[in-house]
Amino acid sequence: MAVDTVIYHNPECGTSRNALAMIRNADIEPHVVEYLKTPPLRALLVQLIERAGMTPRELLREKGTPYVDRGLGDTSLPDDVLVDAMMAHPILINRPLVVSPLGVKLCRPSEAVLDLLPADQLGAFAKEDGEQVVDVSGQRVV
């Protein structure tokens, strides 16, 4: 299906891989941006954060990043400093961030991507850990 969808993806991340697989399970081939190799420009990152209705702090990833070493837990730091840190260390950008005609969202948990897809799932889907997310009729499992 020709739907303009972008996923800011880290192939080493299970959540990101699951979100990508659900996009494809809706017969949508997204533009995959491996943001650790090709980070978004600063203006685009700021725009994505705003469109997602988030703050830069809400997009910051702590686990496996220089978050603590850079003192980013200091809640008095202004947004510009946090964005600068993400630009200097893209691993600080949480993932997967998905852009579709229905909006922009940090898809954690991965099944949050289903809210952004303008097409139904083609069939059953289970996450890598075996958790069933979509049933055989393509409906979200609640």
40-49 pLDDT, tens digit per residue, is 999 999 999 9
Active-site residue, 13 included:
yes
Strand, coil or helix: 14? helix
- CATH (domain of 47): 3.40.30.10
> Does residue 139 belong to any structural domain of this protein?
no
> Does residue 66 belong to any structural domain of this protein?
yes
Q: Catalytic one among 7, 9, 13, 92? A: 13
Question: Can you give the residue range of the structural domain that contains 109?
Answer: 6-116
d(C-alpha 4, C-alpha 2), whole Å: 7
Query: Domains in the chain: how many in total?
Result: 1
Instruction: Give pTM, 2 decimals.
Output: 0.94
97-121 pLDDT, tens digit per residue, is 999 999 999 999 999 999 999 999 9
